[in-house]
Amino acid sequence: MALKLSEAAARKVKELKRGQDLGDDVFLRMGVRGGGCSGLSYQLEFDNELSANDKEFEIDGVRVVCDKKSYLYLNDTTLDYVSQGLTGGFTFLNPAAKSSCGCGSSFSAEPSEEGVHEHHH
85 membership: H or E segment, kind and range:
none
Indicate if the pLDDT at residue 7 is higher than 80. Answer: yes
Indicate if the pLDDT at residue 29 is higher than 70. Answer: yes
The pTM of this model reads 0.75
Residues 93-113 have a mean pLDDT of: 62
Indicate if the pLDDT at residue 27 is higher than 50. Answer: yes
pLDDT at 120: 43
Indicate if the pLDDT at residue 64 is higher than 50. Answer: yes
Indicate the average pLDDT of the chain: 82
Q: Which residues contact 96 (CB under 8 A, 6 or more apart)?
A: 73, 75, 76, 77, 109, 110
Task: Specify the higher pLDDT residue, 57 or 105.
Answer: 57
CA atoms of 87 and 83, how far apart (whole Å) = 8
**What share of the chain in percent tops pLDDT 70?**
79
Q: Which residues contact 31 (CB under 8 A, 6 or more apart)?
A: 42, 43, 44, 66, 67, 70, 74
Question: What domains lie within the chain, and their CATH numbers?
Answer: 4-20+27-100 (2.60.300.12)
Indicate if the pLDDT at residue 75 is higher than 50. Answer: yes
